Structure 1
Amino acid sequence: MRAFLISLFLLFSAGGLTAQEANVGFGTVQADPDAPVEVTAEQLNVSQENGDAIFTGNVVVGQGEMRLNAPKVRIIYDEQDGSVSRMEATGGVTLVSGAEAAEAERADYNVGSGIIVMTGSVLLTQGKNALTSDRMEVDLNDNTARMTGRVKTVLYQGDTTNEQQN
């Protein structure tokens, strides 16, 4: 049903299957920006001078049911309480929430606000449907995403297999 609504929105707002902006649902699980953040990587470099940590090599960041993978992730800590304030993932990023996934060249996550901004050749997959854009802003508080910059979608209607044949 959600795919149908997305297709109607794009068809009517853009006169076709491309647009400059699209609002879509993202994530099938409720994100918890207050949940602990777990990071695994091949290497870690910590800078006491500027208050950040840089993880490199097959980095996997987990928070609740959400997973982010990238070659490099920079963690910026809050100066006052030492909690994770922001994360910057670069080098080809994959974000997975439930059955949905997004890929981009870069992702910036503001942990306090629960907003992730993905930029550079963004690809969002929702089942068989796919959307591409230049930029996607994911709001983890309400499981929505806003895609901007030459948004294009491929929508599959009905059963695309031959399973219904007798």
Structure 2
Amino acid sequence: MTALLLASPAPILAQGTNVTFGTIQQDTTLPVEVTADNLSVDQSSGTAVFTGNVLIGQGDMRLSAARVLVTYRSQNAGIAKLQATGGVTLVTGADAAEAERADYNIDSGEIEMTGNVLLTQGQSALTAEKMFVNLRTGTARMSGRVKTILQTGNN
């Protein structure tokens, strides 16, 4: 997909854009399933660190990364947020996004992806510095030198 973006003679550059993300709205109250090679828990800080081939699933959403820091609410009241780093990939429906980092706030249902964000939707691709995904509404906002190729239908 990156080659598609680089090969076009007339890319579209913008400072921010709104796009749809995923084919359905995500229920952010569903349980979060985590699979990883390693786990380290710190009871005093209320955190857990998953490393090595981390795969997170919640409903139809899948997130993979090299490392995920899970922060729990006080008194074992569930997960408050996830911080994924290292080759982050987020997939929901037919849409996929890649970035260097993703911060997922469970309560708001929002994910902020930063660092060389690449969003692919079918044959379309967009790049940006940041992408904010609202899983509850199935929408996303991209900012920071947004770039895409718009097909004219004549190709």
Instruction: Give the structure-2-normalised TM-score.
Output: 0.90
CA displacement 1:3-34 (0-9 Å, x = unmatched): xxxxxxxxxxxxx7110000000011220100
Post-superposition shift, 1:49?
1.2
1:112-131 alignment, distance < 5 Å: 112-131=107-126
1:53 and 2:48 aligned: yes
Structure-2 separation of matches of 1:145 and 1:102: 11
> Which residue does 2:137 correspond to in 1?
142
> Which residue does 2:4 correspond to in 1?
none
Post-superposition shift, 1:156?
3.3
Query: Is this contact kept in 1: 2:47–2:70, CA < 8 A?
Result: yes
CA displacement 1:23-81 (0-9 Å, x = unmatched): 00001122010000000000000001100000000000000000000000010000144
1:5-16 alignment, distance < 5 Å: none
> Which residue does 1:100 correspond to in 2?
95
Structure 2 residues not aligned, in runs of 5+: 1-10
> Which residue does 2:27 correspond to in 1?
32
Post-superposition shift, 1:106?
0.1
Q: How many residues get paired? A: 145
Query: Is this contact kept in 2: 1:130–1:155, CA < 8 A?
Result: no
1:72 and 2:67 aligned: yes
Structure-2 separation of matches of 1:124 and 1:85: 26
> Which residue does 2:57 correspond to in 1?
62
* Partner secondary structure for residue 34 of structure 1: coil
* Partner secondary structure for residue 69 of structure 1: strand
Relative contact order (alpha carbons < 8 A, sep ≥ 6): 1 or 2 greater?
A: 2
Root-mean-square deviation (Å):
1.3
